[in-house]
Structure 1
Amino acid sequence: MTTAPKDVSAPPDRRRPRTSVTPYLLAAPMFLAVIVALGYPLVRQLLMSFQEFGLRQQFGQPPAWVALDNYKTVLSDPAMLKVLVRSIVFCLVCMSLTMVAGVGLAALMTAISRWARLMLQVCLLLVWAMPVMVTMTVWQWLFDSRYGIVNWLLSHLGMSGMEGHAWTADPMGLFTVAALIVIWMSVPLVAFMSYAGLSQVPAEVMEAASLDGASAWRRFRSVTLPLVLPVIMIVGLLQIVWDLRVFTQIYVLQQSGGSTEDTNLLGTAVYRLGIGQGNYGVASALATVVLLLTLLLTWKYIATLLKQQKEAADR
């Protein structure tokens, strides 16, 4: 019995494999929890931003719909515009310095010995795991006007006027201390995630670049950095989100003195409008503006990540 020869000219079967629903079923509980935990507060915030919602509404009086009046109040107030600009500048400065320091430490961890790398990782882990209020207390001691080691050190280095200098008395000094604290607390996570990406770079690629005569800096810039760029972009996206809504560092330092009006960022401004003044409608409108501003600052990152995921899926 003879079998018919296969038609080699026939096109190969290009049918796509059937997609399994199992991954979606496994992820469904997580998505449901996110929708319940974040969906209702977000919808509630959006509704309150169109209402006159103050202390009287807290005691049962129905809120009145005011359309876009709360947004007009936020966007037409010169003080709020200053807070917006101030928050964006603070966010971008902290994010940039954090990324540079974190990626630099990650690159250092790939070049040092095993025991030195272990000690550095332990130190970074302790910094990252320290509670926020403990960190704030330590840094306030460091910058204390009477007993702080920073003033003592600067004055002994020949900088006049630093003995007894009150850092939180002026806005620039307060933002300097706040930025140092934010960067200090954020660098460990950036360093760990960047190191995880750097450790996955194939050794063969680096060896080939070295044989081609590329210097260490050239290898890092032209080979390593493009390979770990997706990880760095994700960390940068998280840093923008976190640094734009900084609250604890600014609020605690404001209690040490200085003008609250000149040092408010978006996080503290929302808190003082809502909890402090009881104007929850305007506070909700400002919080919605913060959400839109976050999306505006991160859309480029998100678009690039989606593009990379699409290219990986098409391979």
Structure 2
Amino acid sequence: MSAADTTTPATLPPPRQAPPPGGTRQPRGKRTSGGAGTPWLLLAPCLVILALVMGYPLVRLVTLSFQKFGQSQLWGFQPAESVGFDNFTEVLGDGEFWQVVLRTIVFAAGSVIFTMVLGMLVALLLQRVSGWVKTLINIALVASWGMPVIVATTVFKWLFDADYGILNALLSRLPGVDLIGHNWFASGPEGLAVIMLLVIWGAVPFVVITLSAGLTQVPKELEEAARLDGAGAWGVFRYVTLPILKPIIVMLTTLSVIWDMGVFPQVFVMRNGHPEAEFQLLTTYSYDRAFVVNDYAQGSAIALITVVLLLGVVAVYMRQMLKIGDVE
């Protein structure tokens, strides 16, 4: 065998692949247009409006909460004095304030739970009725949702009136029930239950419409596959429908908590502008401290504490949405 036969053959390079049709392939993750400032440019009008509408009131609220500010300061007879955290110390050390906080949390939690459960049931029901029935229900939902809060509150005041309320008359027709002349607002729990019902009535349409839109995105193939695997109606809802609707449910729950903790006109109008102690929520309690007791600094401190509590709810919402985004 010759030396030429023992040499290692040269390795040929792999053939060069032709570029894909349509031009040069762009590397992944590289933006071809726009820049980092484009989102901020698009958000600028909204941010400017928020700064103009909410900026000054929020700054003024924070400033007042750290001052001594009553009627004398309001009319200019005395200058406003900085008192540091005295307003917050006095508010947080007041037992009545914590009763109001607990009442507000219970009221908001009950309103949110019943709103979400009832809204989900109605949204699921709308998927199983005929087209004209669904149209009629949607019209009724939009009409009730579009009703002004003051009008809805006035209607509920008439429904639950002790002397002329239609609800007492209808319930008294049931065997063994006598509610003629019954005052639903004689006690705090019953009165707040009526106000909670008013809040739920106004909030359910938004939840139903939003969940109905989300239910249209649930693939029918997944539901059919779950049924073939032996899952019942509850199993399909729990393992197929609910996970797909989770981002919408988290969003609706967070918005409902924020709205229900900020309930003011329903309580204020229902109690003729003077809510009793057992009807006080954080919003009405802050209003009373500021404009009834004329202690604007304490009222601002209570309002600022309410804002901090709501920011905690928003933080939980953002954390949940980020976890959902990581899973996807």
Asked if Structure 1 and Structure 2 have the same fold, meaning a TM-score greater than 0.5 normalized by the shorter chain, the answer is yes
* Aligned-residue offset at 1:302: 2.1
1:1-315 correspondence runs (5 A): 5-6=15-16, 16-18=29-31, 20=35, 21-60=37-76, 61-255=78-272, 260-312=276-328
CA distance in 1, matches of 2:324, 2:59: 31
CA distance in 2, matches of 1:256, 1:171: 16
CA contact (8 A) 1:168 1:253 kept: no
CA contact (8 A) 1:251 1:268 kept: yes
Partner of 2:21: none
Structure 2: give runs of 5+ residues left out of the alignment.
1-12, 18-24
CA contact (8 A) 1:168 1:256 kept: no
CA distance in 2, matches of 1:5, 1:160: 91
% identity of equivalent residues: 39
CA contact (8 A) 1:97 1:183 kept: yes
CA contact (8 A) 2:68 2:81 kept: yes
CA distance in 2, matches of 1:59, 1:256: 25
* Secondary structure in structure 2 of the residue aligned to 1:136: helix
- Tell me the TM-score normalised to structure 1 length: 0.90
What code does the residue aligned with 2:92 have?
A: L
Structure 1: give runs of 5+ residues left out of the alignment.
none
* Aligned-residue offset at 1:26: 1.5
Count of aligned pairs: 306
CA distance in 1, matches of 2:321, 2:124: 23
CA distance in 2, matches of 1:25, 1:71: 39
What code does the residue aligned with 1:276 have?
A: V
CA contact (8 A) 1:84 1:266 kept: yes
What code does the residue aligned with 2:201 have?
A: W
CA distance in 2, matches of 1:175, 1:280: 26
* Aligned-residue offset at 1:299: 3.0
CA distance in 2, matches of 1:173, 1:161: 16
* Aligned-residue offset at 1:35: 2.3
Give the structure with higher Rg (CA).
2
* Secondary structure in structure 2 of the residue aligned to 1:156: coil
Partner of 2:8: none
* Aligned-residue offset at 1:14: 5.9
Q: Which moved more, 1:209-218 or 1:193-202?
A: 209-218
Q: Which moved more, 1:214-223 or 1:153-162?
A: 153-162
Q: Indicate how the Cα distance of structure 1 residues 43 and 310 shifts in structure 2: closer, same or farther if over 3 A, else same.
A: farther
CA contact (8 A) 2:67 2:82 kept: yes
* Aligned-residue offset at 1:129: 0.5
What code does the residue aligned with 2:60 have?
A: R
CA RMSD between the two structures: 2.3
CA contact (8 A) 1:240 1:298 kept: no
Relative to its length, the structure with more helix (as a share) is 1
CA distance in 2, matches of 1:272, 1:254: 13
* Aligned-residue offset at 1:298: 4.3
What code does the residue aligned with 1:80 have?
A: F
* Aligned-residue offset at 1:103: 1.2
Q: Indicate how the Cα distance of structure 1 residues 311 and 14 shifts in structure 2: closer, same or farther if over 3 A, else same.
A: farther
CA distance in 1, matches of 2:273, 2:82: 39
